[in-house]
Structure 1
Amino acid sequence: MGLLTFSLNLTLDGCVDHQEGIADDETHTFFTRLMNESGAMLWGRVTYEMMEGYWPAVARGEEKAPPAILEWAVKLEAKPKYVVSSTRTDFPWSNSHHIDGDLHTEVQKLKDSTPAGVLLGSGNLATELDRLDLIDEYKFLVHPRIAGHGPTLYQSGLPSTRRLELISSMPLRNGAVAMHYRRVRG
């Protein structure tokens, strides 16, 4: 069984607006490494649509991109992508699959069938999956910024505090810090 790892960019004040992070080669290299280490990506519909609207064109060379960003796009194109949605069923981007039915059951099946693990990259979906006790690890890239606005991480709340064990932390040259935590159960 693979682990479900929640990974996201966030500012020091918890803002998860994708436009508030530092989008440089170092950041893309970091997320490309995480994607390479996982067997699949898992998103909600909103994140999928945001990604679908840009990254396939980069992978096809229709959008100019520096090497690190192009590498991310090409690898993302090939990676299995699973999408949770109750309002959309057609996901034409290559290697995209719809998850419907009971969320706990279907995501647990995905974890069980993906030994290399699943990388979760949607904040709202993460809240739901954390409420279902399915997230095993957290790999956040904390950016040296205070956004002063939302959306914020877990803004709709969790039923209880999650205890985490620090596995590693690594500062990047751009000032961001990669934080890897594992969920402490019991």
Structure 2
Amino acid sequence: MGLLTFSINVTLDGCVDHREGIADDETHAHFTRLLDQGGAMLWGRTTYEMMESYWPLVARGETDAPPALKEWADTLETKPKYVVSSTRSDYPWTNSHHLPGELRTAVQQLKDQTPDGVLLGSGKLATELDRLDLIDEYKFLVHPMITGHGPTLYQDGLPSTRRLELLSAEPLSNGAVAMHYRRVG
């Protein structure tokens, strides 16, 4: 069985707005390495639609991008992508699949069939999956900024506090810190 790892960019004040943070070569290389290590991606519909509107164009060379972004796009293009949605079932982007059925069962089955693990990249979906006790690890890239706005990490709340064990903390030269935690208890 593979692990479900929630990974996202987050500012010091908890903002997870995709327009915030440092979007440089080092950041993209970091996330490309994470993607390479995992067996699949898992997103909610909104995140999937945001991603599908840009990254396939970069992978096909229809949009100019620096080498680090092109590498991310190429890696993402080949990776299996699973989407949780109650309103959409058609996913034309390469290697994209609808994850139907009851959420707990569907995600547990995905974990069971993906020994290299599943990388979760949607904040709202992460809240729901954490409520179901399905997230095993957290890999946050913490950016050195305070935005003063949302959306924020877990803004819809959790039923109880999550205790985490620090596995690693790696500073990047851009000032961000890659934090890797495992859930305990």
TM-score, length-normalised on structure 1?
0.99
Separation in structure 2 between the aligned mates of residue 33 and residue 75 of structure 1, nearest angstrom: 9
Post-superposition CA distance 1:91-133 (Å, at most 9, x none): 1100000011100000000000000000000000000000000
CA distance in 2, matches of 1:14, 1:75: 27
Distance 2:162 2:90 in 1: 35
1:55 aligns with 2:55: yes
The AA in structure 2 aligned to 1:4 is L
Counterpart residue number, 1:87: 87
CA positional deviation for 1:23: 0.3
- Aligned positions, number: 185
* 3-state SS of 2:174 partner: coil
- Cross-structure match for 2:164: 164
State the secondary structure of the residue aligned to 1:139. Answer: strand
Q: Secondary structure at the match of 1:13?
A: coil
3-state SS in 1 of match to 2:167: strand
Mark the runs of 5 or more structure 1 residues left unpaired by the alignment.
none
Distance 2:100 2:127 in 1: 17
Look up the SS of the partner of 1:16 in the other structure: coil
Q: Distance in 1 between matches of 2:130 and 2:75?
A: 27
1:133 is paired with a residue whose SS is: coil
* Identical columns (%): 79
SS at match of 2:109: helix
Aligned to 1:141: 141
- What is the alpha-carbon distance in structure 2 between the residues aligned to residue 156 and residue 60 of structure 1? 37
- Residue 135 of structure 2: SS of its match in structure 1? coil
Partners in 1 of 2:156 and 2:118 — Cα distance?
Answer: 23
SS state at 1:58 partner? helix
Distance in 1 of aligned mates of 2:162 and 2:119:
19
Q: Hey, what does 1:24 align to over in structure 2?
A: 24
CA displacement, residues 116-175 of structure 1 (integer Å, 9 cap, x when unaligned): 000000000000000000000000000001010000000000000000000000000000
C-alpha distance in structure 2 between counterparts of 1:118 and 1:131, whole Å: 17
Distance (whole Å) between structure 2 residues aligned to residue 169 and residue 40 of structure 1: 24
Paired residue for 1:150?
150
Output the aligned Cα RMSD: 0.4
Instruction: Give the TM-score, by structure 2 length.
Output: 1.00
Q: Hey, what does 1:64 align to over in structure 2?
A: 64
Residue 107 of structure 1 aligns to a residue in which SS? helix
Alignment partners' CA distance in 2, 1:75 and 1:165: 29
* Aligned counterparts of 2:12 and 2:79: Cα–Cα separation in 1: 30
Q: What whole-Å deviation, never above 9, does each CA across 1:4-48 have from its counterpart, x for those lacking one?
A: 000000000000001111000000000000000000000000000
SS of residue in 2 equivalent to 1:179: strand
Q: Displaced runs of 4+ in structure 1, greater than 4 A?
A: none
What one-letter code is carried by the residue in structure 2 that aligns with 1:60? Answer: R
The AA in structure 2 aligned to 1:75 is T
